[in-house]
Amino acid sequence: MALLEVRDLKVDFVRRGERSFTAVDEISFDVEPGQTVGLVGESGCGKSVTSLAIMRLLARRGNKVSGSVRFEGTDLLKLSDREMRDRRGRDLGMVFQDPLSSLNPVIPIGLQITEVLERHRGMSRKAASVEATDLLDKVGIPDPSRRLSEYPHQLSGGMRQRALIAIALACRPRLLIADEPTTALDVTIQAQILALLRELVQDTGTALIMITHDLGVVAGLCDEVNVLYGGKIVERAQRHQLFGEPRHPYTHGLLASIPRLDAGRGEKLVPIRGSVSDNIPWEGGCAFAPRCPNALPVCREVSPQLVPDQGGLLRCHNPVRPAVAAGGGAR
Amino acid sequence: MLRFLVRRLLQAIPTLFILSILVFAWLRSLPGGPAAALLGDKATPEKIANLNHVLGLDQPIFVQYFGFLGRALTGDFGNSLVSTQPVMGEIVTFLPATIELGMTAMIIAIVIGIPAGYLSARYRGGPVDNVVIVLSLIGVAVPVFFLGYMMQDILAAPLGLPSQGRQAAGLDATAITNFAILDGIMTSEWDAVWDAIKHLILPACALATIPLAVITRITRASVLDVLNEDFIRTANSKGLTQQVVRTRHVLRNGLLPVVTTIGLQTGALLGGAVLTERVFNFRGLGFLLAEGIERRDYPRLQALLLFGAVVYVLVNMLVDISYGIIDPRVRVR
Amino acid sequence: MNTLLNKKKEPIDKLAAASGRSLGGEAIRRMLRSPVAITGGIITGLFLIVAIFAPLLEPKDPDVHYLGDQIRPNFIPGAQSGFPLGVDDFGRDFLSRLIAGAQQTLIVGVLATIVGVLIGVIIGGLAGAFGGWVDTVLMRLVDVMLSFPSLLLAISIAALFAQPSQWTVILAVSMIGVPIFARLLRGSMLSQRDADHVLAARSLGVKRGAIVFRHMLPNSLGPVIVQATLTLATSILEAAALSFLGLGDPDPSRAEWGLMLGKASHQFLDVRPELAYYPAIAIIIVALGFTLVGESLREALDPKNRR
C-alpha cells in the first residue's frame, strides 16, 4: 500500500455572486514511503492548491474539496477537524515558500519548534528545548542553543528556511510537503537548502512531495514527476524518462526554454508562447491548445484523457515523438 | 532594551518643547492680550498695565517664554479666575476623579471591545459580525453628551443609579487620596466604596462608547489581517490545537495594533471627559475645563490644555515602550 | 516623534498610498454591491436634498415666534396643535427648525471640512513638494497638532475668541482635520514623487509647478475625498460638542442641530426630552451616513480588496 494515495482530487473556488472556478481537477497520484514526488508547473497551475488540499489547510469558506486523500489507508478528507490536527505536524509536515512571513514574528524560534514537540510528542518544555537545539543543529544552524531565543527577523533568509524545515521535521513525519521551499531564497542558499532536504529525506526515510516551478530542483531531487497544467496532471514520468523524452508539448516546451551550457551555438531558446491567461476551459478541449505548437483541430474540441504512455501517464492528443524531441530531448 | 527606553524618552522632549511654545503663544494671542484675559471681568487699563509689569509682559518675548517655561516646570500656572486658587492645586485635587472615571471607562471598553472585535472577525460575515459592525459605527456617531443625558433620563431611575456627582449627599466619606474607591477601601468605609462605584457606572459607560467602538473595530480589522498571514497557516500545518493557534498566534499578533489604539484612546479621554463630566456633574478635570470655558478662566484653560497634551504625549510614550516589550521587531529598529 | 503616533498616522498613510488609483470603474461597481455603501448613500443623499431645498420644505417659517405673548420667561416648550413636532422655547415651529437646521449643519460641516482640507493640503503639499527642511518644520508642527486630543484642539481654538460665532466654530472644528489632511497629502505626494508618470513629465522638462498641479494633486484627490467624507461626520459631531460647551454660535435665531441639542439637553431634558431627541437622532443618522459612505469608499479604494 502506498503511503499517500490521492484520487480524483478536485478543488472549486466558490465565491458568492460569482461563477465557481475549478482550481484543480482529476488529480491522482501515489507517494510510496521514502519516495520523492515532484509537482511541477507554472504559477497558477494548481500545485500549491493541491498541497494545501492534501494538508486540509484551505479555508473552509470559499473552497469545495472533493475526491479522496488516503494517508496509510485513512481518507484525510473525511477526518474531523480535531483528528486532522492530530495528524498534521506528526504524520505530515509542511515547508512553505516564504520563510519570513511563514514564521510568527513575535515568538522566539525556540517556542515555534518546541510547541510542536509538546503537542505531538508530549514532551515537557525542558525536554522539548533540548530536542529543539538538536533539531536546529541537524538542519545546519550554527550555535543552535543561542538561536532558540532569537526572533525570525534576527535570522537570515536561509536560516529561517532551515528553521521552518526543523519545525516540519520535528516529529519525524512520514510525509513532508515542500511548497516552493527555495523560491524566496538566493541562488547559493537554494542549493544548500535542497542539499539539506535531500540529506534529511534520505536519512530519515521521509517521503517528500516537492512542489516547484523549477525543473532544476526536480532534476536534482525527484524520483517521479507530475507536470501540472491548468489544474490537471498533463504528464507523469520517472525523472530520467521526463528529462530524456518529454512527451507532452508543454513539458517539452518547459525543457526547451531553459538555457543550457551544452547547447550548440546555432540553437535558439524556444519559449512557450502566450501565458496561462490564454487557457481554454478543459471542457472544450485541451487547456494548453492555444499555446501549443503541436495543436490539432481535435485539441480544441475533445478534452484529452490521462492515458498510460511509455511507463508513465500522458494527457495529449498529439504528443511529441521521441525522434522529433530536439532541444531538451537529446541527453 | 535600556537604550530603546532612553531613546523613546529623548524623542518626547522636542514634542513637549514645541507644545510649550504653542500653549505659550496661545495665551498671548488672546483677545486684548493675556493680561486682559487673565483679569477677566475685573480688567481696567491700570490693572492691565500693572499686571503686564508684574507678569513681565513688558519684557522681551524670549524672556517671557523662558519665564513661562520655568514656572510651568515648577507647576506654577497662576491662579484660577473662578476659584482664585492656584490652578495646579485644582488639577491635583480634581485629577483623581478623572483617572478613576477614565480607567473605569477604558476597562469597560477593553473588556467588551476586544472580545467583540475578535468574535466579529472570527465569524466574519455572520450575524454577530454584522451586529458588531453596525453598533460600532453607531457608537462613534452618537454625541457623547447626548448619550450621557439619555442614560440619566432612561437608565438612572430604573437601575437605581445616581446620575449626578461623585458622592451621595449626606455621605461623609473620608478623603485621603481623592480616589473615592481607594479611600473607601483604605478607611474600610464600604458604603462609600459602593456609593463611589454606583456614581461611576453611568458616566464611565458614556465615556467608554467611543473607545469601545474604536477598539472593537481595530481588533476586528487586525485579527482579520492576522488570520490571512502565512504564519497562521504554518501554525495550523503543525497541528497545534485551535486554542493554541488562537491565543498564541492569532491574538498575540492581532492585539499589537490594539495596544496602540488603547494608548491613543486613553490619551484622548480628556476630550470625552469634558463632555461626560459636565453632563454628570462629575467633578474631575473635564468638569474643571468645561467650567473654565464657560467662565473664560484662561489660566485654568492654559494649564489644562498643556496638561492634556502632555498626558497624551506621555501616555503614548508609555504605550510605545510596552509595544517594544511585546513586539521584538520594534526594539531593533 | 515616537512610533506610536506613527501608528495613528498609519491609516492616513495607507490611504495616501492608494493615491493615483481612479475612483471610478471598479471601485464604484464594488460600492454598488455593498449594502453598507448603499445605506450610507441613501442617508447622505436624503440629507443633502433636505439641506439644499430646506426653504422649500419647511412647513412654516422657522424664525417666526408663533405663540406671541404666550411666551414668558418660564415657558415650557413642547406639543402644540398645528405644529407636528411642537414648538421650541421661543414658540417657533420645531419641524421647520429641524429642516432649516439641516442646511445650517451642512454649512458648518462642509465649510469646516473645506477649511481643514485647504489648510491641510497647503501644508502637506508644500512639505511633499519641497521636502528638506520645509518638510521637517511643517511636519513637526503637524505632529504636535496630532498630539492634542481632537476636542481639546478645537476647544483651544474656539476659546481664543471672546465672542463665539458660527465662524469661530467652523475654524475650530476645521483644525481637527488640518493635521490629518496635511499628512495625507504629503504621503501621497512622496509616493508619487518617484512614480513613473511624474518622472516622465519631469524628463520632458515640465516645470515643477505644473507637475504638482497637473499631475500630483489630481492623483491625490481620491484619498482626500475619502478622508473628507469621514471628517465631515466628525465635524458635525465636534461642532455639536462645542455648542454644548458654550463655545457655539450664541445667536438664538440660528437653527443648527448642535445648538438645538445642546440647549434642549441643558434646559428641557426633564420636561420635554423629545426636543433633544429630534436633533440628536438627526445628528446621529447624518454622521452615520457620512461615515458609512467614507468607510465604504475607503474599502473600495483599498488595494488589498482588489483582485
What's the grid cell of residue B115?
472580545
B296 lies within 8 A of chain C by CB:
yes
Of A261-275, B39-53, B286-300, give the range with the top mean pLDDT: B286-300
Which residue of chain B comes nearest to A56, CA vs CA? B237
Query: What pLDDT shows up at residue A324?
Result: 47
Residues C201-230, mean pLDDT to the nearest whole number = 78
Q: Is the pLDDT of residue C200 over 90?
A: no
Distance of CA A184 to CAs A96, A166, A180, A190, Å? 10, 18, 8, 9
Q: Is the pLDDT of residue B274 over 70?
A: yes
Q: Measure CB to CB from residue A104 to each of B235, B241, B242 and give the nearest one.
A: B235
Residue with cell 440660528: C254
Dihedral, CA atoms, A310, A314, A318, A319, nearest 10 degrees?
-50
Query: What pLDDT shows up at residue C74?
Result: 62
| Spatial contact of A94 and A180, defined as CB atoms under 8 Å apart | no
Q: Is the pLDDT of residue A165 over 80?
A: yes
Pair type for strands A4-13 and A175-179: unpaired
Confidence of residue C183 (pLDDT cuts 50, 70, 90): confident
Which one has a higher pLDDT value, A225 or B188?
A225
CB < 8 Å to B14, chain C: 140
The β-bridge partners of A37 are A209, A224
C276 lies within 8 A of chain B by CB:
yes
Q: Is the pLDDT of residue A215 over 80?
A: yes
Chains that touch B (3 or more CB pairs under 8 A): A, C
Contact: C151, B19; criterion CB under 8 Å: no
Which one has a higher pLDDT value, C305 or A70?
A70
Mutate which of B224, B233, B234 to test chain A, going by most A C-beta atoms within 10 A? Answer: B234
Stated pTM of the model: 0.84
Query: What pLDDT shows up at residue C70?
Result: 63
Confidence of residue A326 (pLDDT cuts 50, 70, 90): very low
User: Above pLDDT 70, what percent of chain B?
Assistant: 95
Query: What pLDDT shows up at residue C81?
Result: 66
Average pLDDT, chain A: 85
Of the listed ranges A141-155, A198-212, C182-196, the one predicted with least confidence: C182-196
CB < 8 Å to B259, chain A: none
Contact: B329, A96; criterion CB under 8 Å: no
- Kindly report the backbone phi and psi dihedral angles of residue B238, in degrees, each rounded to the nearest multiple of 5, phi listed first: -80, -10
Interface of C with B in 160-199 (CB under 8 A): 160-162
Pair type for strands A175-179 and A92-95: parallel
Interface of C with B in 221-250 (CB under 8 A): 233, 237, 240-241, 244-247
Query: Roughly how many angstroms between the first and final C-alpha of chain B, as a whole number?
Result: 12
Instruction: Name which of B8, B305, B279, B213 is nearest C149 in CA terms.
Output: B305
Which one has a higher pLDDT value, A256 or B120?
B120
Which residue of chain B comes nearest to A118, CA vs CA? B240
Residues B138-162, mean pLDDT to the nearest whole number = 86
Distance from CA of A188 to the nearest CA of B (A): 25
CB < 8 Å to C245, chain B: 274-275, 278, 290, 293-294
CB < 8 Å to B149, chain C: 265, 269, 276
Confidence of residue B276 (pLDDT cuts 50, 70, 90): very high
CA distance B321 to C8: 15
CB < 8 Å to B256, chain A: 106
C186 Cβ contact list (under 8 Å, min separation 6): C16, C123, C124, C125, C127, C128, C135, C139
Query: What pLDDT shows up at residue A330?
Result: 38
Cα B308 to its chain centre, rounded Å, is: 8
Three-state DSSP at C307 gives: coil
A85 lies within 8 A of chain B by CB:
yes
Query: What pLDDT shows up at residue C69?
Result: 63
Buried b / exposed e over A194-211, threshold 16 CB at 10 Å, is: bebbeebbeeeebbbbbb
What's the grid cell of residue B32?
486684548
Contact: C162, B32; criterion CB under 8 Å: yes
| Spatial contact of A281 and A298, defined as CB atoms under 8 Å apart | no
Q: Measure CB to CB from residue B316 to each of C2, C240, C269 and give the nearest one.
A: C2
A321 lies within 8 A of chain B by CB:
no
CB < 8 Å to C262, chain B: 145
A90 lies within 8 A of chain B by CB:
yes
pLDDT, one tens digit per residue, over B211-269 is 999 999 999 999 998 998 899 999 999 989 889 999 889 988 888 888 888 888 888 88
Instruction: Name which of B102, B73, B78 is nearest B88 in CA terms.
Output: B78
Residues B316-325, mean pLDDT to the nearest whole number = 78
Which one has a higher pLDDT value, C195 or B248?
B248
Contact: B316, C147; criterion CB under 8 Å: yes
CA distance C157 to C174: 10
Interface of A with B in 99-118 (CB under 8 A): 101-107, 115-116
Average pLDDT, chain C: 78
Residues A242-260, mean pLDDT to the nearest whole number = 84
Confidence of residue B100 (pLDDT cuts 50, 70, 90): very high
Residue B125 CB-half CA count within 13 A: 4
Q: Is the pLDDT of residue C2 over 60?
A: no
A179 lies within 8 A of chain B by CB:
no
Residues A303-321, mean pLDDT to the nearest whole number = 86
| Spatial contact of B248 and A107, defined as CB atoms under 8 Å apart | yes
Average pLDDT, chain B: 84
Instruction: Name which of B208, B216, B195 is nearest B269 in CA terms.
Output: B208
CB < 8 Å to B235, chain A: 104
pLDDT, one tens digit per residue, over A48-62 is 899 999 999 988 888
Query: What pLDDT shows up at residue C110?
Result: 92
Q: Is the pLDDT of residue B110 over 90?
A: yes
Tell me the ipTM for this assembly. Answer: 0.86
Distance from CA of B141 to the nearest CA of C (A): 5
Q: Which residue type sits at C301?
A: L
Helical H segments across B127-189, by residue range: 127-141, 144-150, 157-159, 180-186
**Running DSSP on this structure, what letter comes out for residue C164?**
-
Of A213-217, B137-141, B210-214, give the range with the top mean pLDDT: B210-214
Q: Is the pLDDT of residue A329 over 50?
A: no
Mutate which of A104, A119, A183, A209 to test chain B, going by most B C-beta atoms within 10 A? Answer: A104
Instruction: Name which of B207, B178, B206 is nearest B192 in CA terms.
Output: B178
Which residue of chain C comes nearest to B217, CA vs CA? C295
What's the grid cell of residue B270?
480628556
Residues B276-292, mean pLDDT to the nearest whole number = 90
Distance from CA of B332 to the nearest CA of A (A): 9
Residues A8-16, mean pLDDT to the nearest whole number = 85
CB < 8 Å to B298, chain C: 159
Contact: B313, C147; criterion CB under 8 Å: yes
pLDDT, one tens digit per residue, over C79-110 is 666 667 777 776 677 788 888 888 888 999 99
Residue A330 CB-half CA count within 13 A: 9
Confidence of residue B27 (pLDDT cuts 50, 70, 90): confident
Instruction: Name which of A154, A148, A75, A151 is nearest A114 in CA terms.
Output: A148
CA distance B218 to B222: 6
Question: Under the phi-then-psi rule, with left for phi > 0, alpha for psi from -120 to 50, and beta for the rest, what region is B253?
Answer: alpha
Contact: B15, C144; criterion CB under 8 Å: yes
Distance from CA of C264 to the nearest CA of B (A): 10
Query: Roughly how many angstroms between the first and final C-alpha of chain C, as a whole number?
Result: 36
CA distance C231 to C176: 9
Query: What pLDDT shows up at residue A269?
Result: 72
CA distance B23 to C278: 38
Q: Is the pLDDT of residue C182 over 70?
A: yes
Environment class of residue B251 by beta-carbon count within 10 Å: exposed (0-12), middle (13-18) or buried (19+)? middle
Pair type for strands A312-314 and A232-238: antiparallel
Which one has a higher pLDDT value, B8 or B204?
B204
The β-bridge partners of A29 are A6
Mutate which of C44, C140, C144 to test chain B, going by most B C-beta atoms within 10 A? Answer: C144
Chains that touch A (3 or more CB pairs under 8 A): B
Distance from CA of B179 to the nearest CA of C (A): 24
Q: Measure CB to CB from residue B234 to each of A84, A103, A106 and give the nearest one.
A: A103
Distance from CA of B171 to the nearest CA of C (A): 26
Query: What pLDDT shows up at residue C79?
Result: 66
CA distance B102 to A209: 57
Contact: B235, A103; criterion CB under 8 Å: no
Which one has a higher pLDDT value, B214 or B325?
B214
What's the grid cell of residue C219?
492623483
Distance from CA of A193 to the nearest CA of B (A): 19
CA distance B181 to B167: 11
Return the HEC string of chain A: CCCEEEEEEEEEECCCCCCCEEEEEEEEEEECCCCEEEEECCCCCCHHHHHHHHHCCCCCCCEEEEEEEEECCEEHHHCCHHHHHHHECCCEEEECCCCCCCCCCCCCHHHHHHHHHHHHHCCCHHHHHHHHHHHHHHCCCCCHHHHCCCCHHHCCHHHHHHHHHHHHHCCCCCEEEEECCCCCCCHHHHHHHHHHHHHHHHHHCCEEEEEECCHHHHHHHCCEEEEEECCEEEEEEEHHHHHHCCCCHHHHHHHHCCCCCCCCCCCCCCCCCCCHHHCCCHHHCCCCHHHCCCCCHHHHCCCCCCEEECCEEECCCCCCCCCCCCCCCCC
Helix (H) or strand (E) holding B256: helix B256-279
CA distance C40 to A261: 64
What's the grid cell of residue A191?
542549493
Query: What pLDDT shows up at residue B328?
Result: 76
Query: What pLDDT shows up at residue A59?
Result: 84
Distance from CA of A204 to the nearest CA of B (A): 19
CB < 8 Å to C3, chain B: 320, 323, 330, 333
| Spatial contact of A237 and A310, defined as CB atoms under 8 Å apart | yes
CA distance B213 to C202: 46
Q: Which residue type sits at A265?
A: R
Interface of B with C in 134-163 (CB under 8 A): 137-138, 140-146, 149-150, 152-153
Of C2-11, C81-90, C251-260, give the range with the top mean pLDDT: C251-260
Q: Is the pLDDT of residue C194 over 90?
A: no
Confidence of residue C6 (pLDDT cuts 50, 70, 90): very low
Q: Is the pLDDT of residue B118 over 50?
A: yes
User: Above pLDDT 90, what percent of chain B?
Assistant: 24
